[in-house]
Structure 1
Amino acid sequence: MTIGVHLQEFHGLPVYEFPAPGATVELPDAASVAWRLSAPTYSDPEDELWEPLFERFLATVDTARVRAVVVGGWDEAYDTSSAAIVKALIGANDRLTGLEAVFLGDMTSEDCEISWIIQSDVTPLLAAYPALRELGVRGGSGLVFPPVHHTGLRALVLESGGLGAEVVRGVAASELPALERLDLWLGTEEYGADTTPADLEPLLSGARLPALRRLGLRNSDIQDEVAAAVAGAPVVARLDELDLSMGVLTDEGAAALLAGQPLTHLRRLGLAHHYLSPETAERLTAALAPHGVTVDLDDPQTPEDEGDGEVYRYVAVAE
């Protein structure tokens, strides 16, 4: 499975595609939408590239009222990192004075496969925008996230087909006292994932992220190990939502959850795209639903036997 649609909503705002040069359309109020700024990833000579598009955007809209920016594609995103995009956004911080949210890399598989997207060090955006509340990044190749301190960030989403352990450790070591939502797509070893439960321990211990209420550790080929680590993690006691979806969760991981600490305080447990038996799925629902917990068990998967004696299970989004 790959990503097939662009973001329709971001930061609670509808996403609006900034129009092409020469388009005669009435623009919405600058604060009423999340502005999607996207250039072709496979460009022709006559195409407008991302940097000129961004300059035209800054010259067109009331920049002080812009609340959210969604960066789509850029030229050769499969070969050229997001560093120039990050630099351009930082250089506009004196004009985008009301910016609250940035999503970097809103590309479908047709634009650029998630594992092909070349990212960069995205943390300078946090230094440049101390009032930023939400940061989303798609693509783990080249992604750098050293430990940071930011007092305003409330949501951090890193979507990847293979997230490096160094990135996870950087997030885990960051001081983000206002962060309420953390969503990490850990991915699969085939596409660069090398995170272990030990790398997650600073997040799971509850020693950091005092405001965290929604934790997603998703899209992982070690989902059973993640579930086992989460089952005894102190941070779970203060969560409203725990999301372990999109990975290769089996009955083994579910058994760890059922045998671990109570999850009856949760508002939602996300397990969609799983490899659970119907009996185990029923046990989870029976244990939690009477307490008002929504257990999302959508999209059950069946292991594939390709005739070589091996059984294959796949994360939801890899390539």
Structure 2
Amino acid sequence: MSDADRLHELLGLPAVDFRRETDGTARPAADAAAWRISVNPYDPDDGEGTWAEEFDAFLEAVDPSGVEALIIGQWGEAYEETSACPIGLVVAAADRLTSLRAVFVGDLVMEEAEISWIEQSDVTVLLTAFPELTHLGVRGGTDLEFPPVKHESLQGIVVESGGLPAAALRGILDSELPALERLELWLGVSAYGGDAVVPDLAPLLSGTRFPRLRHLGLCNSELQNEIAAAIGSAPVVAQLRTLDLSNGTLGDEGAAALLEGQPLTHLTSLDLHHHFLTEPMERRISEALEPHGVSVDLSGRCEPWDGLGAEGRYTAVAE
């Protein structure tokens, strides 16, 4: 999962690992960091306890009323224990975390758990508990639940997965999120639970669901060609400033459908990195868009793997 690295920042704040014991260096102010709370369940000698104990220590050591960004890292054996426990503890502390604006659930890297092994839960309880939350991020699609919600403040959603369940996708798209400006969804592959199909995206592509949306990422999909073709005629594109179709199985056929659709020259950037395009198609895309000021990322051309599916194409992140 090379494109699912440890978070370096959240809400524009640098990610800082909370430690009960410091080396004498003063901790940042509560509002100067995106605080990552995590434990290592595989090393009994590391001095950490449970995630609940670490979170309690955090609330005592750092002024919770000033915390603006919180990163939930490894909470235990994440392939057996769901995120319901750490999420529930954060929700229970809502009356103390009065300035919280951003939460990321599941900041685990491959050495801790493959992305499709991370057991998630209903993350919308965070939205209910924190009506002023502006950014919600999630890594891992297994057992992810996102029943439709109404939230007036949420501006950004990121869901990174090796396979996004269709039910969770539909819940996001059926939600009332009038302030939403950024939506990034890693749709993944069917072998790891990504059972959504292009018709499931219809409410989003219509352009009527999220009127303030300016950035759209539909990434890391084995259906990247079909998605690109749908984007070519999707009304939502007219309101976008940036479009991300990276990390999937995009080939010349999908890129051609994208270019032959509606104009994309109003975009400031188009991200297609990790793709299966030929050099002539790369040139065609660059020549069509870059003279109009569109920044196009065509890095990471991939070669098909023999014996992998009909075309040998693969997403950047799956297992």
Q: TM-score range by the shorter chain?
A: over 0.9
2:178 counterpart residue number: 177
Question: Cα offset for 1:296?
Answer: 0.7
Structure 1 residues 249 and 95, CA gap change in structure 2 (3 angstroms): same
What do residues 251-302 of structure 1 show as CA deviations (whole Å, max 9, x unaligned)?
0100110110000000001100000011011101100111100111011101
The Cα of 1:148 is off from its aligned counterpart by 0.7
C-alpha RMSD over aligned residues: 1.5
Structure-1-length-normalised TM-score = 0.96
Residue 257 (1) aligns with residue 258 (2):
yes
The answer on whether the counterparts of 1:182 and 1:216 sit within 8 Å (CA) in structure 2 is: yes
Partner SS for 1:305: coil
Aligned equivalent of 1:160? 161
**Contact 2:265/2:289 (CA < 8 Å) preserved in 1?**
yes
* Matched residue, 1:124: 125
Specify the alignment match of 2:92 in structure 1.
91
Match of 2:17 in 1: 17
Distance 2:81 2:318 in 1: 20
Aligned residues of 1:2 and 1:318 also touching (Cα < 8 A): no
Residue 202 of structure 1 deviates from its aligned partner by 0.1
Residue 29 to residue 233, structure 1, CA distance change in 2 (3 Å): same
Other-structure match for 2:6: 6
The 8 Å contact of residues 3 and 316 in structure 2, kept in 1 or not, is answered as no
> C-alpha deviations, 1:81-119, integer Å up to 9, x for none?
000111101001100000000000001000111000000
Matches within 5 A, 1:292-307: 292-306=293-307
Q: Is 1:3–1:109's contact at 8 Å kept on the other side of the alignment?
A: no
Q: Is the 8 A contact 2:20 2:58 kept in 1?
A: no
The answer as to whether partners of 1:41 and 1:112 remain within 8 angstroms in 2 is no
Residue 68 of structure 1 deviates from its aligned partner by: 0.3
Identity between Structure 1 and Structure 2 (%): 52
Aligned-pair distance for 1:2? Answer: 3.6
| 1:269 aligned residue | 270
Partner of 1:210: 211
Give the direction of change, closer, same or farther, for the CA distance of 1:60–1:31 in structure 2 (3 Å limit). Answer: same
Shift of 1:3: 4.9
Q: Which structure 2 segments of 5+ residues have no match?
A: none
Counterparts in 2 of 1:106-255, with a 5 A limit?
106-255=107-256
Cα deviation code 1:13-48 (max 9, x no counterpart): 100110144654311111011001111143537641
The aligned length equals 318
Decide whether the 8 Å contact of 2:118 with 2:141 is kept in 1. Answer: yes
Greater displacement, 221-230 / 309-318? 309-318
- Looking at structure 2, the residues matched to 293 and 22 of structure 1 have their Cα atoms a distance apart, in angstroms, of 46
Which residue identity is paired with 1:314? Y
Amino acid at match of 2:154: L
Q: Is the 8 A contact 1:9 1:15 kept in 2?
A: yes
Q: Which residue of 2 aligns with 1:34?
A: 34
Q: Is the 8 A contact 1:221 1:314 kept in 2?
A: yes
Aligned to 2:117, the other structure's residue is in SS state: coil
Rounded to whole Å, the distance in 2 between the matches of 1:170 and 1:310 is 32
Q: Please report how far the alpha carbon of residue 9 of structure 1 lies from its aligned counterpart in structure 2 after TM superposition.
A: 1.1
